[in-house]
Chain A
């Protein structure tokens, strides 16, 4: 893979000793059947193992992780695609707690201005435990819309909007609560949590919970009523961030991603129509208006171009800068609580919403972003994304550790900010420091990128 090198630069790889030996073949395991399997099978020197075979690389799902990670021995070189307690970042209620705590810490250490940089998450309250705090806030802003989301479900399930307390009274009394508690196939019960002094959350395994009534946690969040609209439609952005370690924090940002559009025109008059408000493709697919040929995604480059034709270059630059800030702050807020096992890496799917003032908001972080392709363009994006992820994970021990860019990934944070300039020392605070991120700018298909193959050369056509 092509890479931008900087000689004065601290390494990003955790490469030491015998891990860095070249291996004859790399045994991989996965349970998914989608783009990922294609990528893994096509990778030279990678061999699939099934069932009980020994593996060097496992792309697992989170339920396997929860049940087996703690009693699986892994050699030094082995890699797995999740951190043990990723839910600190990906479960909405934990993320909020961690972010709030981090914000308080920032305020103490660096002042109000710095802490305000964490205000990218709409006001959120855990239910039912923070119900009273929520009601206080609710009464301060009568008439605004709130959104209720289950903490652990994905694909838009179980979400509803409301404006009156009456709408959630029933829920609280238990009628609706019971309805939502009858869970569809969650692999295990939504774990109940106990908070440790360090701030981490323990989850009990499914065995312990067999005899308990499943309680599903929700969060009530302030709904963003003035989203940025394109063609009268609401959309959100899906961006990919690859974290190679938390201690120290090393994160890569993928240049491509997409904007997901709601199929119907945005209006606040019908908050019951969940199809309007939820831009998740999974939800859109069930909408009666949905036509698979239509496709409701735009690649980020297109989105960035669109913005550039409507707003000044400074405004667009500022927006993307704030988006970078979301990634960094959110990762920093869980840095100390996530168990930073050297075997682990994780590819997160961040969902970002832009409002009409061009302010980005974090909706949520996904530890298992969908790898199923919804169109040819999507297939190419995800194929390249996964290939580049494997390049960065570097089972083949080819990277020098000094790279700032690998394929479509830019090194965004390496125990500190990373500068875009080649050769310049990474000193923020210098007048012309520009972060090494290129979201929505030219992808791997740039002229002069040997090995950074374009979609055509990976001809799956």
Chain B
């Protein structure tokens, strides 16, 4: 009992600490002061009256949403003696693996830098600044020579690293048994099995209505759709994050999605947010970073070639270039196993006073990174709204898809969950694919790393991301990947090569 109480007070203290620095706190303070003018506020019962006022005016709800958001994003405090690395990643071997992976990435980036003799960063001459400002809304028309740039890494490079992950403390012996894991991932992480998944994702059960299925034209809307839409409108009217998160587990109506996501992610576009975005834009105009070219290349290679997303090319630059300048993103490294790369001012290598994070937000984009942003263009078209949503999605979810950690939503766990589901429930298929050299993970890895963006039609993708938000977990990606294999099992049993299996699955998606 005592332990729980002290845990709770620790959590409360932490959250209060966090929120004290936020603009919400300042707003609440201002509101409290302003409320003193109101007749119903009396000196004798000041505290209760102000609380009552907050409740009625909706400010309490905003505070609730902010607290809820904090609870969702930040891991609960652990033992007071635990060092901060443990918050990032408790297992040593995972931390080490992430560290060496980062070293490799940096090496690759640095060598590209030296080869091409391009500085990591430079100030833009005034003429170029003007030009860029004029072209800000149509950067896609630019055709810079990007032939010498290569993406720093691609998902398949990352997969190789994960395949070689080993826990040095774990010995499972040489003999094969029914427990032996036949897949590519060979680390002993705990993943959910189907009964546990069923419990966790109870709203996805067969007896519950879902958007995307129970709103098709054959089903009369009175059965589910109408009521669900009505509830959605009510949730939005109440402006309650927690309710929205619960609601969206059954999918979001297209017309309400943009607002619902903003509510769940606790994004409200205040003037200071718009100003912040403009500030980032100014940073982009003034300084040219090497990663900019990487971003350009990625957009040109992936999103611009996509049937759905080519239209939004310009927005992608506007978001991604600003994202790489955003130092507030550094905050998420507190709970991300990754660490931001450090760069040193020329000639001062090793001297901490001359170290900066590079890029400023600490995130080096890889091949396909722009696909995280592209589907959001269907929801928002003001750049700052689009930007805020993407940033929030990144620091809550997407970062886990390309860093090595033991977190249940981390890519390693997702891969293991996928393989375990397949091996347990479709053993014949798994064995067959393995025999023909087509390990299933080799096919599904890229789907999961990109959260299926570019592999699913946008309307279905958004329904999938609804559930990611609703359950605050990425596990559904692994379950979907396994389900795709199950759906195509009969055809897959007949293929005889990895290429044929890939081909078959392109047509599904």
Contact = CB atoms under 8 A, between A and B. Distances in A.
18 contacts: A231-B312, A261-B311, A289-B141, A294-B305, A294-B310, A295-B307, A296-B310, A305-B459, A306-B378, A308-B254, A309-B257, A313-B255, A441-B217, A442-B217, A446-B217, A447-B216, A447-B218, A456-B507
Q: Which of B137, B217, B254, B312 has the most CB of A within 10 A?
A: B254
Contacts of A302: 308, 458
Nearest to A455: B507
Contacts, number: 58
Interface string B377-415: 111010000000000000000000000000000000000
A257 B257 CA distance: 26
Interface size range of chain B in the complex: 20 to 34
A377 interface: yes
B453 interface: no
Interface-centre pick from A289, A309, A313 (highest chain B CB count, 10 A): A309
Contacts of A294: 304-305, 310
Nearest to A311: B255
A313 B215 CA distance: 14
B32 to A, nearest CB: 37
A277 B459 CA distance: 29
Interface string A176-205: 000000000000000000000000000000
A261 B309 CA distance: 12
B307 A309 contact: no
Nearest to B140: A265
Contacts of A446: 217
Nearest to A314: B255
Nearest to B457: A302
B378 A309 contact: yes
A264 B141 contact: yes
Contact of A295 (B254, B255, B310, B315): B310
Contacts of B258: 309
B459 A264 contact: no
Given A309-B258, A441-B217, A230 B141 contact: no
Contacts of B218: 447-448
A231 B255 contact: no
Contacts of A141: none
Interface string B309-321: 0111111000000
Interface SS majority for chain B: helix
A232 B138 contact: yes
Contacts of B138: 232, 264-265
Contact of B377 (A231, A296, A308, A312): A231
Interface string A274-314: 00000000000000010001111010001001101111110
Contacts of B313: 231
A137 B359 CA distance: 58
Interface in A301-348: 302, 305-306, 308-313
A222 interface: no
Contacts of A305: 254, 378, 458-459
Contacts of B141: 264-265, 289
**What class of interface size applies to chain A in its complex with B?**
20 to 34
A84 interface: no
A393 to B, nearest CB: 27
A233 interface: yes
Contacts of B257: 309
Given A264-B141, A265-B137, A295-B310, A309 B216 contact: no
Given A264-B138, A293-B305, A309-B378, A230 B254 contact: no
Contacts of A296: 310
Given A294-B310, A305-B254, A311-B255, 4 more contacts: A231-B314, A298-B311, A305-B459, A309-B257
B254 A309 contact: yes
A293 B379 CA distance: 25
Given A305-B254, A441-B217, A447-B216, A233 B311 contact: yes
Contacts of A312: 255
A308 B218 CA distance: 19
Nearest to A306: B378
Interface in A14-48: none
A291 to B, nearest CB: 8
B487 to A, nearest CB: 14
The 9 closest A-B pairs by CB, nearest first: A231-B311, A265-B138, A308-B254, A231-B312, A309-B254, A305-B459, A309-B378, A230-B311, A294-B310
A378 to B, nearest CB: 10
B381 A310 contact: yes
A298 B457 CA distance: 12
A231 B379 contact: no
A289 B218 CA distance: 44
Interface string B273-315: 0000000000000000000000000000000110110111111
Nearest to A299: B307
B255 A309 contact: yes
Interface string B206-245: 0000000000111000000000000000000000000000
A311 B381 CA distance: 12
Contacts of A231: 311-315, 377
A375 B310 CA distance: 15
A312 B229 CA distance: 12
Contacts of B381: 310
Contacts of A232: 137-138, 314
Contacts of B315: 231
A307 to B, nearest CB: 9
B294 to A, nearest CB: 20
